[in-house]
Amino acid sequence: MSSADGQVVRAAGVSRRYGEGEAAVDALVGISTEFERGRFTAIMGPSGSGKSTLLHILAGLDQPTSGTVVLDGEEITGLDDGELTKLRRDKLGFVFQFFNLLPVLTAEENLVLPLSIAGRKPDREWLEQLIRTVGLDDRRTHRPSELSGGQQQRVAIARAMVSKPAVVFADEPTGNLDSKASADVLRLLRQAVDEFGQTVIMVTHDPAGAAHADRLITLRDGGLVHDAVPGSTDEVIELMKQID
């Protein structure tokens, strides 16, 4: 079910508290924001600002203490574990800092794994297009140990997109890569948005990464302090200096 207004994710008054009493820590405090379809959003903030917590709550990997999240027309905050698992399988793609590929499977087998688990056959034409797009045509039978870090992350991005999800969530996708591999991964995420109409929400600490996005949200102490077009890498660096 698609929301007609072009929003694919909406958070309203989202707070997340860990612990109780004097030991309680507020990771997020009353965050309200929305994400449009077909756009690339970066989320930045100092360490401990709540950016990964926000990403996990938007993706249904964690529950807010208060507030609601609507994802692709469905309120996810009240769903049970089984419903959340199904939602993540059907509607979301994930790219993490560590590639999370299964060592015994080939690149292509890893890529189609979300579909295999769901008992669905890949759309062959889309699969071939993805493999070409991520530049792994001659690596499809290689196992992860035979691929570079950048190649493994490109497999992970293709895996995140294979089911044509409503949203791809990326948590520090370049955090483990050298600068060339990072640039390849960021170009690929940008291409996913521009050519395939994918929605990407990415947590990053890399100003060059944020500069690839259409929009930059910045958090500090669990609150949203900035929301605008990111501008150049240098402009992002300046902004982060002011926020840190």
Q: How far is CA 109 from the centre of its chain?
A: 21
Residue 4, pLDDT score: 43
21 domain-assigned: no
Distance CA 235, CA 53 (A): 25
The domain spanning residue 214 has which CATH number?
A: 3.40.50.300
Distance CA 160, CA 95 (A): 6
139 domain-assigned: yes
31 domain-assigned: no
Distance CA 66, CA 15 (A): 5
Q: Which residues of 217-233 are buried (b: 16+ CB within 10 A; e: fewer)?
A: bbbbebebebeeebeee
155 domain-assigned: yes
219 domain-assigned: yes
List the domain range (segments joined by +) for residue 159. Answer: 37-63+78-243
Residue 202, pLDDT score: 92
56 domain-assigned: yes
The number of domains in the chain is 1
Residue 5, pLDDT score: 55
Q: Which two tokens mark 47?
A: 């360490």
Name the strand (E) or helix (H) holding 43.
strand 40-44
2 domain-assigned: no
* DSSP-assigned letters across all residues of 169-208: EEESTTTTS-HHHHHHHHHHHHHHHHHH---EEEE-S-HH
By three-state DSSP, how is residue 105 classified?
Answer: coil
Find, among 44, 37, 7, the residue nearest to 231 by Cα. 44
Please list, in sequence order, all residues whose beta carbon lies within 8 angstroms of the beta carbon of residue 55, skipping any fewer than 6 positions away: 43, 169, 171, 201, 203
Residue 39, pLDDT score: 92
Give me the phi and psi of 131, to 5 degrees please: -60, -40
Distance CA 230, CA 242 (A): 14
pLDDT in tens, 196-210: 888 999 999 888 888
Residues of the chain with pLDDT under 50: 1-4
Give bridge partners of residue 35 from the DSSP assignment.
9
221 domain-assigned: yes
Please list, in sequence order, all residues whose beta carbon lies within 8 angstroms of the beta carbon of residue 66, skipping any fewer than 6 positions away: 13, 14, 15
Residue 3, pLDDT score: 42
